């Protein structure tokens, strides 16, 4: 059920419901993702030939969340056309789910005349999210409270053109042509129901372009994604609800690279709290070392500035739930005409969690209050979506699997959209 309560949040999936719950958890975790259980996800992909690389579309959770970050992102926000009702949304979701499954599998969707464009999916994932209007139309009582939006922050400079929409498709692939084609196909397939509100195009390192296991860097030169969840338990605690659903927060963050690059390296490291070369905390030796915020230098000053980005982002000891999955993408566009900036660059910051209000917003608030990095970053877009559970190919659902268990929906959001509510 989408309206996940904050109660029992910390219990995670495994502890939630005794034996039946535990059995279900195993099923969820076995089926939910493409990363072998226990292996780190969201690190650099491996060097297997890309022509053979595909991500399973169906599963207890949607692909594109735990999937290691692909090189390319087309994040497309859609608004429903006037007159589209709950029945229309159901038709759109049946259609989109079927076509996304085909594309991710290297099969040509029924409505497409271009089979040659889909032969090598290159780890294509297409992940769907619902904004508040879909719930308002189809199931008002089921809307999660946090879908009202991320609270306004003092430093926000949000632009309406990057705001909330009714639907979102997160399209990721390791081949930019595949990523463009999938966007085009999905937009065309849904054209009678929804039109594009905005499109955020981003990139990370190409498949195989950095050594396996390395954390990618953003355009500030920082390793980005060090503290992500990695184990099955992490994902069950932080990201996926028991029914396989999750949430996506999108923040578009402009980065003042021109200003940042005027800092020397020591200052950059102080601002972030980590070393630039290996991403280790200033108190540690390895990227994944736990930072020691109490450490002092020979003058008695904190080694890690309490207002450094890392220190502000860390969950306090009494709020271990303030963690989430990050899948950030860079953008790098031409400077505005007449501007003396060298570029219009930044981050499409994608955060996934069970409950944005409990997990994401407190971190954002701490950062907005005093993060030293704020001098070079400006949040210019914000949106939040409910991510439906994963799907099952028609005819393959387990006889014993109920819809409440997730992963059995015939199309995205069936549990919310069906049931005669609309």
Active site residues: 224
Stretch that binds a copy of itself, among 93-101, 205-213, 292-300, 366-374 (CB under 8 A): 205-213
Q: Does 384 bind a copy of itself (CB under 8 A)?
A: no
Tokens of 330: 């860079």
- Determine if 199 is a binding residue for a copy of itself (CB under 8 A): yes
Q: Classify residue 112 by its DSSP letter.
A: -
Query: By C-beta, is 49 or 300 nearer to a copy of itself?
Result: 49
Residue 37 interacting with a copy of itself (CB under 8 A): no
Query: Is residue 122 close enough to count as binding a copy of itself by CB under 8 A?
Result: yes
Q: Could you say whether residue 178 binds a copy of itself (CB under 8 A)?
A: yes
**182 interacts with a copy of itself by CB under 8 A:** no
Contact (CB, 8 A) for 320 and 10 = yes
Told to check if 79 binds a copy of itself by CB under 8 A, we report no
347 binds a copy of itself (CB under 8 A): no
Burial of 231 (0-12, 13-18, 19+ CB in 10 A): middle
Residue 209 tokens read as: 């372009």
- The residue count for binding a copy of itself (CB under 8 A) is 61
Distance CA 99, CA 101 (A): 5
In this structure, how many other beta carbons lie within 10 angstroms of the beta carbon of residue 402? 11
Q: By C-alpha distance, which of 147, 137, 142, 10 is closest to 86? A: 137
Among 217, 319, 365, 421, binds a copy of itself (CB under 8 A): 217
Helix 176-189 / helix 86-104 crossing angle, nearest 10 deg: 150
Write down the H helix ranges in 117-217: 132-138, 176-189
Neighbours of 404 (CB within 10 A): 12
Where on the phi/psi map is residue 59: left (φ > 0), alpha (ψ -120 to 50), or beta? Answer: left
- Candidates 289, 316, 317; CA nearest to 303 is 289
Distance of CA 73 to the CA centre of its chain: 11
* CB contact at 8 A, 90 and 418: yes
State which of residues 203, 365, 403, 421 lies at the interface with a copy of itself (CB under 8 A).
203
Span from 149-157, 177-185, 358-366, 378-386 in contact with a copy of itself (CB under 8 A): 177-185
Tokens of 382: 């914000």
Q: Pick between residue 178 and residue 364 the one whose CB is nearest to a copy of itself.
A: 178
Instruction: Please identify which residue in 105, 231, 343, 378 interacts with a copy of itself, judged by CB under 8 A.
Output: 343
Angle among Cα 94, 100, 106 to the nearest 5 degrees reads: 135
Q: Please report whether residue 30 would count as binding a copy of itself according to CB under 8 A.
A: no
Sole binder of a copy of itself in the list 19, 113, 152, 317 (CB under 8 A):
113
Does residue 38 touch a copy of itself according to CB under 8 A?
Answer: no
Give the one residue of 85, 277, 297, 404 binding a copy of itself; rule: CB under 8 A. Answer: 277
54 scored as a contact of a copy of itself (CB under 8 A): no
Q: Are 236 and 32 in contact (CB under 8 A)?
A: no
**Residue 181 interacts with a copy of itself (CB under 8 A): yes or no:** yes
Q: Is there binding between residue 72 and a copy of itself (CB under 8 A)?
A: yes
User: Cβ distance 283 to 304 under 8 Å?
Assistant: yes
159 touching a copy of itself, by CB under 8 A? no
Q: Which span (150-158, 333-341, 359-367, 388-396) binds a copy of itself, by CB under 8 A?
A: 333-341
Looking at the Cβ atoms of 46 and 398, the one nearer to a copy of itself is 46
* 277 three-state secondary structure: coil
Assess 208 for contact with a copy of itself (CB under 8 A): yes
Residues in contact with a copy of itself by the rule CB under 8 A: 47, 49-51, 71-72, 113-117, 119-120, 122, 161, 174-178, 180-181, 183-184, 187-188, 191, 195-196, 198-199, 201, 203-211, 216-217, 219, 221, 257, 261, 264-265, 276-277, 330, 332-335, 337, 340, 342-343, 345
């Amino acid at each position: 059920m989408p309206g996940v309560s904050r109660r029992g949040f910390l219990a995670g999936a495994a502890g939630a419901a005794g034996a039946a719950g535990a059995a279900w958890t195993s099923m969820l975790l076995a089926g939910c993702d493409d990363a072998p259980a226990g292996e780190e996800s969201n690190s650099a992909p491996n060097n297997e030939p890309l022509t053979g690389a595909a991500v399973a579309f169906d599963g207890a959770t949607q692909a594109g969340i735990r999937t290691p970050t692909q090189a390319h992102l087309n994040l497309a926000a859609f608004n429903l056309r006037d007159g589209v009702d709950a029945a229309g949304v159901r038709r759109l979701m049946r259609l989109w789910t079927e076509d996304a499954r085909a594309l991710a599998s290297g099969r040509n969707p029924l409505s497409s005349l271009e089979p040659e464009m889909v032969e090598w999916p290159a780890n294509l994932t297409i992940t769907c999210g619902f904004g508040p209007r879909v719930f308002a139309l189809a199931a008002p009582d089921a809307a999660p409270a946090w879908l009202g939006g991320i609270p306004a922050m003092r430093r926000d400079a949000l632009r309406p053109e990057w705001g909330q929409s009714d639907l979102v498709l997160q399209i990721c692939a390791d081949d930019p042509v595949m990523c463009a084609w999938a966007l085009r196909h999905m937009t065309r397939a849904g054209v009678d129901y929804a039109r594009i509100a905005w499109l955020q195009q981003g990139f990370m390192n190409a498949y195989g372009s950095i050594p396996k296991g390395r954390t990618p860097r953003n355009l500030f030169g920082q390793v980005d994604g060090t503290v992500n969840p990695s184990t099955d338990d992490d994902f069950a605690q932080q990201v996926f609800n028991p029914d396989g659903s999750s949430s996506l927060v999108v923040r578009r963050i402009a980065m003042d690279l021109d200003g940042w690059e005027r800092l020397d390296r020591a200052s950059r490291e102080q601002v972030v709290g980590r070393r630039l070369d290996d991403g280790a905390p200033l108190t540690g030796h390895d990227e994944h070392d736990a930072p020691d915020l109490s450490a002092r230098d020979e003058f008695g000053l904190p080694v890690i500035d309490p207002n450094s980005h890392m220190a502000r982002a860390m969950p306090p000891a009494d709020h271990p739930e303030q963690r989430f999955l990050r899948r950030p993408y860079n953008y790098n566009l031409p400077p505005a005409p007449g501007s003396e900036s060298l570029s219009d660059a930044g981050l499409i910051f994608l955060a996934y969690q069970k409950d944005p209000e409990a997990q994401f917003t407190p971190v954002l608030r701490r950062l907005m209050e005093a993060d030293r990095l704020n001098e070079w970053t400006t949040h210019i877009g914000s949106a939040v979506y409910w991510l439906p559970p994963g799907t099952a190919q028609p005819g393959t659902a387990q006889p014993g699997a109920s819809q409440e268990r997730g992963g059995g929906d015939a199309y995205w959001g069936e549990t919310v959209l069906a049931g005669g509510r609309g």
